[in-house]
Structure 1
Amino acid sequence: MQTADIQRRWLEFFGSRGHTVVPSASLVSDDPTLLFTVAGMVPFIPYLTGLVPAPYPRATSVQKCIRTNDIEEVGKTTRHGTFFQMNGNFSFGDYFKEQAVAYAWELLTTPESDGGLGFAEKDLWVTVYDDDDEAAAFWKKTAGLPDERIQRLGKEDNYWHTGQPGPAGPCSEIYFDRGPAYGPDGGPAVDDTRYIEIWNLVFMQYLITDVRSKVDFDIVSELPRKNIDTGMGMERVAFLKQGVENMYEIDQVRPVLDMASRLSGRRYGADHDDDVRMRVIADHVRSSLMLMGDGVSPSNEGRGYILRRLLRRSIRAMRLLGVDAPSFAELFGASRDAMSGAYPEVLHDYDRISRLALGEEEAFLRTLASGTSILDLAVDRTKGEGKQAIPGDTVFQLHDTFGFPIDLTLEMAEEAGLTVDRDAFDRLMADQRARAKADAKSKKRALADLSVYSEFRKHGETVFTGYELLETESTVLGLLRDGVSVDSAATGDIVEVILAETALYPESGGQESDQGRIVGNGFELEVLDVQRPVKGLVSHTVQVSSGEVGVGAPATTLVNPVWRHSAAQAHSATHVIHAALRQVLGPQAHQSGSYNKAGYMRLDFSWNAALSPATRSEIEEISNNAVRDNLEVTTRIMTLDEAKKLGAMALFGEKYGDAVRVVDIGGPWSRELCAGTHVRRSAEIGLINVVSESSVGSANRRIESLVGLEAFQDLATERAIVSQLTSSLKTPREQLPDRIAELVASLKAAERKIAQYEASQLAGRIPALVANARRVGGFTTVLEHVGKVGSSDDLRGLVTSVRERLGGDPAVVALAADVSGKPAVIVATNDAARKSSVKAGALAKRAASVLGGGGGGRDDLAQGGGSDLTAIQSALDAVSAELSA
């Protein structure tokens, strides 16, 4: 049974039983505490918790998920994957335990010929929570399961909650027995390798508080409306139904594994380590394909960092299979073909996905080359010091700064006959994880408990009137101070205001929130921010400018008209520049993010090369021509499917409901899904002045522009600068570039002459320095403060020249100088000194410690520096002391 067939059977089964079929949400989660959608129930959390009223009594979905907390287990077990699909059925206060059990048993055991999944009843076991007699009774009644195949487990295994106060409840899990060849008898309580969990039914029936751990919390009461949340693992069912050994061998994953085998020339099944690597590649390439399909781009933070890690682990695994050449074109092509049946969007958007993947592969292969050079130096240094282990801090720097995988470092160190100080590396990694965890916790704590908004959301959605109006009368539904409801707020207080209606635009879709005021009888509030903390609800963060505001008071929202117009100009300019980009570069230059506010916009787009000045000018000219042509700007509300048929473009990562707003500028020339505010005709944008174009990733660029009055002011400033230059240089404007080029050339020539003069002056000091050589600890030494020097290179040349004049006896030269206001010291040793175990790097490091800085280098030549010019003589004395010891 193919994976797509399992998906079809699932949706048809529950759809025919009154469940609303909900399409999979994006892998990019709406939940601000989550980077990704990590479980099938995540999109339904607001409904399950009662934060937002459920739009339907029961639902079903096949949800795309990403989970990387067990990434090190990928490829080693039968069921750990970073991307997986969770089949779910949900009830929001509708049916409960008995019906959930009945549905699960019916779908699992109905023969395939009748639309079911065709599992044999004898192979199925269940677990229930310790004291959930009710669930156990339903399994007996509905499924006829004997007591020995209904096992009871504790909170660690069979109890669900979010980790926060709120709804919770016991679970019941369904397991498939793979047979005695896979482990001992005794059910899932004994062995979860033989007995594979395929479905988890969560009975959300209690309200809990004071959550101290997964197993330690207080149950307050039963929920007035009990919910059902179930999840069946698509990949687990697929590998069982397809008769293969693990999830990496199912129809949606195996083609990538086979491609890795073909490219490497290594047979799957012949070697355990190679098998793990091929499974890692198959899993990570599929996960990366799906993440990029949902708009995630490789980067050094957040979601982009996770994606980059998956891609780089894939490249590393291919290298360990002996493949050093690029391989993503073939691997991603295989994954595209395997996944497009269930997710046709990866096929339609494959050009963009492919560019991202190939760009990241090319960049990381360069990283591997540079990292290998750094590692080679570390190997030489370790061997030169007579040690066996490469220092942990060096290995950590390779991993953290250069993205060089630790496994690759271990492999290359072993090839060189060395080990790695793994304990030190692991300590540094643990410290980094602890910092990241603390940062994540602090960010999570900073988020308000969203449950406080549920009471307001029950009154319905906040009505946004701002598309047509800049002023709207409303009523204060609630006030929040520090996340807690209050009855009133007085002058100086900063609070959140919940209104029934508002004309103030809440930040979304890349557009910054409106500026404005909220006024009423006896009070005035300055609006600091406007947000949507939960779907359908608008919250205004305000400071009370005067008076006192209370719950229930009439209030009027007043939008700052200048700000709104400028913001609308910027947002419309974003659409115009996007259309111009696609006209010049082609449809593959797709927007991947944007931000706009009054007078300014930036747009990120998929592209892997810098734009030439001519291309940038062409995009700017097309954009301003669109402004000149005074194109009509229209908005329409339609279904998402209708908008897609019209060719309206969506922003990756943005969430859209069934009804969407389509913004046209010049008809189909620019047609995008957008909830932002816009001008009525393109001429109202005023002027578009592209001020920068830069890289924001291996396959992403960013274009920034000033818009309207801000664009004019920037050009006026440039005009004033040009006028000042023409006056100062007494040169016509059109001749300024040539005149400035002449001046730069003259300046460089003068700098060269000065450098030659300074070099000759330094060279003239060599005889005197050599003449001042003295014996220290059996070495001929020159330890001198030479005053001010133009650059460290000049000082280095002086040091090596002096060393060459000292003959063959053991010699050490340490010269210190003032280089651009900072102390610098360079140390050189000759062959005879090094044979006596004197190393320039150690001496430079010692001198630099006195100067208040750091230093080091090779055994023959090294450099140090610091911040304390007054300590130069003390630093040279420290070198002398080291030689005398």
Structure 2
Amino acid sequence: MKTAEIHRRWLDFFEKRGHTVVPSASLVSDDPSLMFTVAGMVPFVPYLSGMVPAPYPRATSVQKCIRTNDIEEVGKTPRHGTFFQMAGNFSFGDYFKEGAISFAWDLLTTSEEEGGLGFRPEDLWVTVYEEDDEALALWKQHSTLPDERIQKLGKDTNYWSTGQPGPAGPCSEIFFDMGPEYGIDGGPITDDDRYVEIWNLVFMQYQVADVKSKTDFTILGELPKKNIDTGLGLERVAFIKQGVQNMYEIDQVRPVLDRAAELAKKTYGANHEDDVLLRVIADHVRSGLMLIADGVTPSNEGRGYILRRLLRRVTRSMRQLGVEGPSFAELFPVSRDAMKAAYPAVEHDFDFIARAAYAEEKTFLRTLASGSQTLDTAVAEAKQAGGSVSGETAFLLHDTFGFPVELTLEVAEEAGVSVDAEVFKTLMQEQRDRAKADAKAKKGQRADLSVYKELRGLGETLFTGYDELTHESRVLGIVVDGAPAREAHEGQVAELVLAETSLWAESGGQDADQGLILGDGFEAEVLDVQKPVQGLIVHTVRVLIGTIAVDARAETQVDADYRRGATQAHSGTHLVHAALRDVLGPNAHQTGSYNKAGYLRLDFSHSDALSTETKSEIEEISNLAIRSDYEVVTREMGLEEAKALGAMALFGEKYGDRVRVVDIGGAWSRELCAGTHVSSSAEVGMISLVSESSVGSTNRRIESLVGIEAFRNFAAERAIVQQLTSGLKVPRTELITKVQDLGAQLKQAEKKIAALEAEKLGQRIPELLAGAEQLGGSRVLLASLGSVGSADDVRSMALQLREKLGSDSAVVVLAGEAAGKPVVIAATNPAARENGVKAGALAKLAAQVLGGGGGGKDDLAQGGGTDPAKIGDALAEIRRTLGA
């Protein structure tokens, strides 16, 4: 049975039993505490916890998930994967234990011909919580399992909680018995791999507090509404139903494994170490495919770093199998074809996915080439000294070469040495601290989300700001220092929840509004507006005058100038996006944005830097759209209707069933967008592109000033031009020529200085030749030149000296200090190389002393480092080596 067929049968079964089919949420979790969707229940947490009223009494889904905490186990066990699919059925105060147990047994044991999964009852085992007699009785009532195949286990395995105060309850797990050839008898209680857990039924029954550990907490009582949360591992069921040994051999994964084996000229099953690498490749390619399909792109931070690590582990594994060149163009199309039946988007968006993946591979192959030399040197030194690779080196590799520290650890482990991980962590933390030093935390510490549960239960906050800047409302709740409060007093910073608001909460790339909240006897400045919980708008305010109390009347007042600037910037973002696609083509997807009054930032999928001409064209098209005074129309409609109209959904964004469509000039720019906008494009005023840069191997970023800020920028540049024309005493039309002439004169002067320095060095040749000595059968010239202009000066001198030493075995090693860094050049003639003296080995030896890396060819090589004071020591080490 194909994995996509199991997927379909699951949804069909529960839909026929009154469950609302909920499409898989994105792998990018809405939960701010989670980087990814790590379990099938994550999208339903607001409903299961009671934070948000459930829109349906029962639901079912097959949820895409990513977990990387066990990444080192991938490929080594039958069921550890980074990407997996969790099928679930959920009840929000509707059916409870009996319904969950009867549904599970029916689906598992109903024959394939009748739409079930066709498991034999004699292959199934069940565990229940040791004190849950109700579940035990229900299993006996609704299944044909004998008593000995229903086992009781304790809290550590069969009791579920979030690890925080809140809902919790016992669970019941269903296992498949692989057979006696896979392990010992005795059932799941043996904890043997023979018994594969396929389905977990969680009975969310109690409210717990004082949670000290997984097994130590206090049960406060039963929940007023009991919920069901179940999860069946689709890959686990697939490998059982397909009769294969593990999840890497199922139909959605095995094709990639086979293609990787073919590229590497390996036979799967012939060698354990190779098999593990092939499984890692198959798993990580699929995970990369699905992550990029959900809008994640490789980067050095957050989700992008996880994706980068996965992709680079693929490249690393392929190299370990003997494939040195690029392989993603062979592997990703295979994964696409294996996954498209269940997830059509991977085929529809494959051009974008492929560009992101292939560019990352190309970048990493360059990284491997440039960083491997440094890493190899560090590993060799550590091995020779019986120590470890320094944390400083690991940080250098990460920060300069883009080596994931995990790769450094893997390479070091293979060589039998360790890495000073603590020093690396310290340096990484120092870097993060420096990055944050200049950024004042605007958001501050937000209260625990449970604080908003009761407030959200009062209903959604109505946003009225599309049509008005002021609105009369009522204070529903106040949060001070993370806890509910009845009042907020003058001077305090507090969070206010109102019934309605005209203030925009930060979302969709648009920054929060600025403004005031006023009432009888109080005035508060709005510091921030956010949506910490779906449907709830929270205003962070500083109380300027008086006291704010719950139930008080309150008027929200948006700063009109700020809102005008913000709408100009948001509409300007749409104009720039349309211009980008006009110039670069439809593959230039927007991948992120941020806009506020006077400024917009737009990230888009593109690999190459934009030329000056291209940037000017994009800027001109955007401003021509402003001059054209296009009408801006917003409409609300169903998602499918909007897509049929050609409205652009931004890649990786999540949308509900009802969406807002923003047209600028009709179909010229038609996007799904909930933000605030101008009423005509002329109101944007002006767009001035100020920068274009890379934010990843497949992403570029445009930054632009908008409206009055764009005008001010042009005015400032005009003032600079006036100062230059005045100072250089040329008209504006001749300014560029004058600056170019000055640049040419400077280059000529630099060439003259370089020639003089080279001539000065050349005058030292006789003196240096006189210092040559006989070592180990070769005439050896070792010398430090002191301060030099560049490494080229040292190289030129070494070649001249090697020539003058004649045809007998001769070795030249010169060192110098260029721009504060030591540089070493080693040169050997043919006779010396016949004697076994190689320039590359000498340069590498010197570089090790200098704290850097080096190498090259046998006849000419270069090394470098960080400490010029050790040049003498480096030359002495070479003298000792050659004289040995």
TM-score range, shorter chain: 0.7 to 0.9
Give the whole-Å Cα distance in 2 for the aligned partners of 1:139 and 1:132: 11
Equivalent pair of 1:76/1:276 in contact (CA under 8 Å): yes
Give the whole-Å Cα distance in 1 for the aligned partners of 2:547 and 2:412: 70
Tell me the CA shift for residue 855 of structure 1. 8.5
Equivalent pair of 1:648/1:671 in contact (CA under 8 Å): yes
Tell me the CA shift for residue 371 of structure 1. 2.7
Tell me the CA shift for residue 445 of structure 1. 12
Equivalent pair of 1:203/1:227 in contact (CA under 8 Å): yes
Equivalent pair of 2:128/2:150 in contact (CA under 8 Å): yes
Residue in structure 2 matching 1:400, options 382, 398, 418: 398
The amino acid of 2:208's aligned partner reads I
Does 2:77 match 1:77? yes
Tell me the CA shift for residue 674 of structure 1. 0.8
Greater displacement, 85-94 / 653-662: 653-662
The amino acid of 1:725's aligned partner reads L
Provide the residue aligned with 2:456 in structure 1.
Answer: 457
1:29-64: CA deviation from partner (whole Å, max 9, x where unpaired): 001111100000000001111111111111111111
1:255-306: CA deviation from partner (whole Å, max 9, x where unpaired): 2122112222222222222222222111111111111100000111111111
Does 2:121 match 1:126? no
Equivalent pair of 2:392/2:423 in contact (CA under 8 Å): no
After superposition, the Cα gap between the structure-2 partners of 1:858 and 1:506, relative to the gap in structure 1 and judged at 3 Å, is same
Provide the residue aligned with 1:273 in structure 2.
Answer: 273
Give the whole-Å Cα distance in 2 for the aligned partners of 1:466 and 1:737: 49
Does 2:332 match 1:337? no
The amino acid of 2:659's aligned partner reads V
Provide the residue aligned with 2:775 in structure 1.
Answer: none
Provide the residue aligned with 1:38 in structure 2.
Answer: 38
Equivalent pair of 1:184/1:191 in contact (CA under 8 Å): no
Does 2:146 match 1:151? no
Give the whole-Å Cα distance in 2 for the aligned partners of 1:219 and 1:206: 7
Tell me the CA shift for residue 117 of structure 1. 1.0
Give the whole-Å Cα distance in 2 for the aligned partners of 1:142 and 1:782: 88
Give the whole-Å Cα distance in 2 for the aligned partners of 1:149 and 1:483: 48
Give the whole-Å Cα distance in 2 for the aligned partners of 1:840 and 1:619: 50
Provide the residue aligned with 1:507 in structure 2.
Answer: 506
Equivalent pair of 2:169/2:204 in contact (CA under 8 Å): yes
The amino acid of 2:234's aligned partner reads M
Provide the residue aligned with 2:833 in structure 1.
Answer: none
Give the whole-Å Cα distance in 2 for the aligned partners of 1:601 and 1:862: 45
- 1:24-35 matches, within 5 Å, as 24-35=24-35
The amino acid of 1:169's aligned partner reads G
Equivalent pair of 2:794/2:814 in contact (CA under 8 Å): no
Tell me the CA shift for residue 154 of structure 1. 1.4
The amino acid of 1:241's aligned partner reads K
Equivalent pair of 2:158/2:171 in contact (CA under 8 Å): yes
Give the whole-Å Cα distance in 2 for the aligned partners of 1:655 and 1:422: 46
Superposition TM-score, scaled by structure 1 size:
0.87
Provide the residue aligned with 1:776 in structure 2.
Answer: none
Give the whole-Å Cα distance in 1 for the aligned partners of 2:432 and 2:178: 38
Provide the residue aligned with 2:315 in structure 1.
Answer: 315
Give the whole-Å Cα distance in 2 for the aligned partners of 1:365 and 1:694: 22
Greater displacement, 214-223 / 234-243: 214-223
1:736-786: CA deviation from partner (whole Å, max 9, x where unpaired): 22211101111222233345456666777999999999xxxxxx9999999
After superposition, the Cα gap between the structure-2 partners of 1:791 and 1:262, relative to the gap in structure 1 and judged at 3 Å, is closer
The amino acid of 1:422's aligned partner reads V
Give the whole-Å Cα distance in 1 for the aligned partners of 2:428 and 2:744: 51
Does 2:632 match 1:637? no
Does 2:309 match 1:299? no
Count of residues paired in the alignment: 852
Give the whole-Å Cα distance in 2 for the aligned partners of 1:447 and 1:548: 21
Greater displacement, 644-653 / 43-52: 644-653
Provide the residue aligned with 1:353 in structure 2.
Answer: 353
Equivalent pair of 2:574/2:669 in contact (CA under 8 Å): yes
Equivalent pair of 1:524/1:545 in contact (CA under 8 Å): yes
Residue in structure 2 matching 1:423, options 418, 424, 427: 418
Give the whole-Å Cα distance in 2 for the aligned partners of 1:113 and 1:572: 55
After superposition, the Cα gap between the structure-2 partners of 1:438 and 1:151, relative to the gap in structure 1 and judged at 3 Å, is farther
Tell me the CA shift for residue 595 of structure 1. 0.7
After superposition, the Cα gap between the structure-2 partners of 1:730 and 1:432, relative to the gap in structure 1 and judged at 3 Å, is closer
After superposition, the Cα gap between the structure-2 partners of 1:325 and 1:791, relative to the gap in structure 1 and judged at 3 Å, is closer
Tell me the CA shift for residue 827 of structure 1. 9.7
Provide the residue aligned with 1:697 in structure 2.
Answer: 696
Greater displacement, 495-504 / 7-16: 7-16
- Give the match's secondary structure for 1:697: coil
Give the whole-Å Cα distance in 2 for the aligned partners of 1:478 and 1:455: 9
Tell me the CA shift for residue 479 of structure 1. 1.2
After superposition, the Cα gap between the structure-2 partners of 1:767 and 1:548, relative to the gap in structure 1 and judged at 3 Å, is farther
Q: Which runs of 5+ in 1 are unaligned?
A: 774-779, 849-853
After superposition, the Cα gap between the structure-2 partners of 1:433 and 1:374, relative to the gap in structure 1 and judged at 3 Å, is closer
The amino acid of 2:703's aligned partner reads E
1:137-188: CA deviation from partner (whole Å, max 9, x where unpaired): 1101111322211111112211111111111111100011111121111111
Equivalent pair of 1:390/1:420 in contact (CA under 8 Å): no
Greater displacement, 640-649 / 368-377: 368-377
- Give the match's secondary structure for 2:236: helix
After superposition, the Cα gap between the structure-2 partners of 1:740 and 1:27, relative to the gap in structure 1 and judged at 3 Å, is same
Equivalent pair of 2:398/2:405 in contact (CA under 8 Å): no
Give the whole-Å Cα distance in 2 for the aligned partners of 1:264 and 1:815: 43
The amino acid of 1:159's aligned partner reads Y
The amino acid of 2:415's aligned partner reads V
The amino acid of 2:338's aligned partner reads A
- Give the match's secondary structure for 2:134: helix
Tell me the CA shift for residue 246 of structure 1. 1.4
Tell me the CA shift for residue 360 of structure 1. 0.9
Provide the residue aligned with 2:882 in structure 1.
Answer: none
Tell me the CA shift for residue 517 of structure 1. 0.6
Does 2:49 match 1:54? no
- Give the match's secondary structure for 2:31: coil
Give the whole-Å Cα distance in 2 for the aligned partners of 1:61 and 1:504: 35
Tell me the CA shift for residue 660 of structure 1. 0.9
Q: Which runs of 5+ in 2 are unaligned?
A: 435-440, 773-779, 829-836, 880-884
Does 2:223 match 1:228? no
Equivalent pair of 1:770/1:782 in contact (CA under 8 Å): no
Tell me the CA shift for residue 826 of structure 1. 8.6
After superposition, the Cα gap between the structure-2 partners of 1:459 and 1:124, relative to the gap in structure 1 and judged at 3 Å, is same
Tell me the CA shift for residue 69 of structure 1. 1.0
1:196-230: CA deviation from partner (whole Å, max 9, x where unpaired): 11100001111111222222222222111111000
1:75-113: CA deviation from partner (whole Å, max 9, x where unpaired): 121111111111100111111111111111111111111
1:594-645: CA deviation from partner (whole Å, max 9, x where unpaired): 1111111111111111111111111111111111111111111111121222
Equivalent pair of 1:390/1:421 in contact (CA under 8 Å): no
The amino acid of 1:232's aligned partner reads L
- 1:646-795 matches, within 5 Å, as 646-757=645-756
Give the whole-Å Cα distance in 1 for the aligned partners of 2:304 and 2:57: 36
Tell me the CA shift for residue 680 of structure 1. 0.6
Provide the residue aligned with 2:103 in structure 1.
Answer: 103
Provide the residue aligned with 1:624 in structure 2.
Answer: 623
Provide the residue aligned with 1:601 in structure 2.
Answer: 600
- Give the match's secondary structure for 1:86: strand
Does 2:586 match 1:591? no
Equivalent pair of 1:522/1:547 in contact (CA under 8 Å): yes
Q: CA RMSD in A?
A: 4.2
Greater displacement, 39-48 / 684-693: 684-693
Equivalent pair of 1:521/1:554 in contact (CA under 8 Å): yes
Superposition TM-score, scaled by structure 2 size:
0.87
- Give the match's secondary structure for 1:90: strand
Provide the residue aligned with 2:8 in structure 1.
Answer: 8
1:791-841: CA deviation from partner (whole Å, max 9, x where unpaired): 8998999999999999x9xx9999999x99x8x88999999xxx9xxx999
The amino acid of 1:368's aligned partner reads L
- 1:428-507 matches, within 5 Å, as 446=445, 448-507=447-506
The amino acid of 2:450's aligned partner reads S
Equivalent pair of 2:815/2:871 in contact (CA under 8 Å): no
Tell me the CA shift for residue 410 of structure 1. 9.2
Tell me the CA shift for residue 310 of structure 1. 1.1
Equivalent pair of 1:605/1:701 in contact (CA under 8 Å): yes
After superposition, the Cα gap between the structure-2 partners of 1:546 and 1:761, relative to the gap in structure 1 and judged at 3 Å, is farther
1:425-457: CA deviation from partner (whole Å, max 9, x where unpaired): 566678799999999xxx999553100001111
Greater displacement, 479-488 / 291-300: 479-488
Q: Percent identity?
A: 62
Give the whole-Å Cα distance in 2 for the aligned partners of 1:226 and 1:330: 49
